[in-house]
Amino acid sequence: MKKPMTNAANTSKGMLLIISGPSGVGKTTITHHVEKQLHAVFSVSVTTRPKRPGDREGVDYYFVDLPRFQQMRDMGQLLEWAKVFDHYYGTPRQPVEAALAAGKLIILEIDVQGAIQIKAQLPEAFAVFVLPPDEPTLLQRLRGRKREDESVIQERFARASEEIARAKTCGVYNAFVVNDDLATATAQTVELVRRELAARRQAPASTQRP
């Protein structure tokens, strides 16, 4: 059961920023730079995935078991959710609505499936997709992380190719940034978001862009 976004969220001066991209593209690093430079709020996702070394509860994710996740989903407490590599991920509704109502910039780092769900509820969200310079570079980056064996890497690479194709055709994303150089891609993303924020603050509420 999905609940619509509240009136407070729909009419606030806050902005919801979606940042997506395939595994290994560098989107998390870019997200953290945007968060820091633009004084944004990061939306912490809830997941059924097991905690990894270095993961911080309430900072990287909220870690829950499957029954609790299903309860949150069924009670309409998630704005979006998806199953990825046998684990579930979702965006808690309340923190997002509270940040928007307070006029803040809030960032969701989610996949294409989640972005489509969010845009259906909040079409004025601003969405950026981070692309690799090419597929061989992305495969090299996935291997360079040294987190998984080759079979898992190939599975992630296949999913990444599908996600890139879907991102380009789904009509959800406002901008695409190619991460050939991390510093350049980060600067481009920050500038895109800064310009969008400035445009929205200058426009009357009734004419803000969807």
Instruction: Read off φ and ψ for residue 124, nearest 5 degrees.
Output: -80, 0
Return the DSSP state at 2: -
CA distance 144 to 146: 5
pTM summary value: 0.85
Point out which residues pair with 82 in neighbouring strands: 89
Residue 204 has pLDDT above 90, yes or no: no
pLDDT digits (tens, 9 = 90+) for 145-185: 777 889 889 988 999 999 999 999 999 999 999 999 999 99
Q: Which pLDDT does position 201 carry in this prediction?
A: 86
Superfamily of domain 7-43+104-207: P-loop containing nucleotide triphosphate hydrolases (3.40.50.300)
pLDDT digits (tens, 9 = 90+) for 129-148: 999 999 889 888 888 877 78
Residue 7 has pLDDT above 80, yes or no: no
123: left (phi over 0), alpha (psi -120 to 50) or beta: alpha
Distance set, CA 199 to CA 126, 154, 174, 192 (Å) = 12, 41, 14, 11
